[in-house]
Copies of this chain bind each other. A is one copy, B any other.
Amino acid sequence: MDAIDLRHHLNTLSLSRSPSPLKDIINYMTIDGMLSLAGGLPHPSLFPFVNLEADVYAPTVDLNSDTRELVHLTVHRDDKNQGQVVDLAGILQYTQVMGNSWLLQFTHEFMRTVFQPGYGNYETLLNEGNTDGWNKVVSLLCESGDCIIIEKYTYSSAQALWIPMGCKGVPIDMDEEGMRADALEDVLQQWDVKRPGEKRPHVLYTVPTGQNPTGCAMSARRKQDIYSICVKYDIIIVEDDPYYFLQFEEYRRGRNRSATPPKYDEPTFLRSLERTFLSFDTQGRVIRLDTFSKTLAPGNRLGWFTCNPLFAERLLRGAEVTTQAPSGWSQAIIAELLRSWGPGISGYLRWLSSLIKQYEVRRDWMCDAIADAFDVEKGTDGEGLVAYSQGIKLFSFVPARAGMFLWCKMYLGEHRDYLEAKQNIREGEDSEAIFETRIWKELLEEKVLLTPGSYYTPWQGKDRKSIATSGREPDVVFFRLAFSMTTKEDVVPAIQRMAKALRLSWGIA
């Protein structure tokens, strides 16, 4: 089954792009015996680069060990049956903007095997990572004035793109599984009544796995429900999923991990991964963004779109006049790494299965440290765990099932200074905002740095900035805690400092 026609979603800009006439010329260059004076390219014999070598970890590396098994990569200027998949001189020339053919084949096969898109004629197209990818998608679909459906808390850089373009966010309530399907349906159903004259959104942006900032992981069932609603209301889903391969087992306090991990088995690993929007997508209305940033390294600036052929062609037209192809060095190194890690996609999958455990352990360290520094109890539905101190409910958090973040919801209802300040608050000010800053500074005093939750507050337009006008919950503030960068040695004192700062703030020290 192929994608349906979704051309009506393209914006004026992307509909107006023409293929470069020069691209036609390229077809004639390869005619036998043709002498070409057409291509204005630098001569590859004058590139000063002769070869490239790199040592990389083996895909079977033991990341818990200090001695790590290495693989040696080499990329030469020409492919004389040396087994390499890229020719260095070729990849350093102006190349096809969609990306190196071997990498396109790899990503296509990877999507087929791991994600099983719900329609047949999906395509992949390289980009410079998901930030670049999201920019290209907005340039493909959105017009100034558009409303974009987003999660109640959303990735700040993603909205920093579209706010200056004159778009507005439509935040949808979340629970521990992320965006709520019923809340989405409500907003869409009542759109014309509640927002008369405003164009109904046709783009939904979501980070379904290990959402930034909340760390939520969306279930397959939830994705299916949201997908059905998007079919009903003709909405394009942008599945920005950089943390997809950081899916963890459920948190159990003080889990003892055996030194020898269970034997790796590819089918088992694949089954352990949650289904994606793409897998439910029978119509081609999902644009999926995947990246090597979290799984290999961000500096690669390399990711890829998976989408229907029409969108892929228009994304390519956009890339031709902006970024062109991703860095040849990044493409060469990643291609050769993936090839040497083979066979096929197996080496990369093996690597991902090891990587997951490293971040899972980091999640556990942080959750254990919180359980040690506070009185932690299971909360009510959707609250996750609640941290108390001397009987006062300080914050709750859901031990992340994916990604890099814990999202702490702090309850100001028993904070004496807050309650007093709230009485005297001036018109147009939010006492929550004032106390978020105050608590952030109090944490800083104790030398522990968190990210204030307000950084992730969706932009709904100038008239919907305060708690009252935006519909946000009163008497709470949020902080994002990243566990990805901490060692066990760091995370324990960091959480202890947090505990001390909060107790001082609440006056229960």
Query: Which A residues are closer than 8 A to B by beta carbons?
Result: 12-14, 16-18, 20-22, 25, 28-29, 31, 33-44, 46-57, 61, 63, 70, 91-95, 128-129, 131-132, 135, 156-157, 160-161, 163-165, 212-213, 293-294, 296-302, 320-331, 333, 337, 351, 355, 358-359, 362, 366, 404-405, 444, 447-452, 455, 480-486, 490-491, 493-494, 497
Contacts and interface: CB of A to CB of B under 8 A. Distances in A.
Contacts of A34: 447-449
Contact of A300 (B328, B337, B452, B483): B328
B41 A486 contact: no
Most chain-B Cβ atoms within 10 A of its Cβ — which of A33, A92, A447, A485?
Answer: A485
A42 B131 contact: no
B355 A329 contact: no
B324 A300 contact: no
Contact of A323 (B323, B447, B485): B323
Nearest to A75: B54
B156 A37 contact: no
A493 B37 contact: no
B327 A40 contact: no
24 contacts: A13-B165, A21-B156, A35-B447, A35-B490, A35-B497, A36-B449, A36-B485, A37-B451, A37-B482, A38-B449, A38-B482, A40-B405, A48-B56, A49-B55, A52-B53, A52-B54, A53-B53, A53-B54, A92-B297, A93-B298, A129-B324, A297-B328, A299-B325, A327-B330
A156 B20 contact: yes
Given A22-B451, A49-B56, A50-B54, 9 more contacts: A17-B164, A18-B163, A31-B447, A38-B451, A38-B482, A40-B212, A95-B299, A300-B328, A323-B323
Contacts of A40: 212-213, 404-405, 451, 480, 482, 484-485
Given A18-B160, A326-B327, A449 B25 contact: yes
Copies held by the complex: 2
A131 B324 CA distance: 7
Nearest to A127: B323
A209 to B, nearest CB: 14
B57 A50 contact: yes
B450 A13 contact: no
A337 B449 CA distance: 38
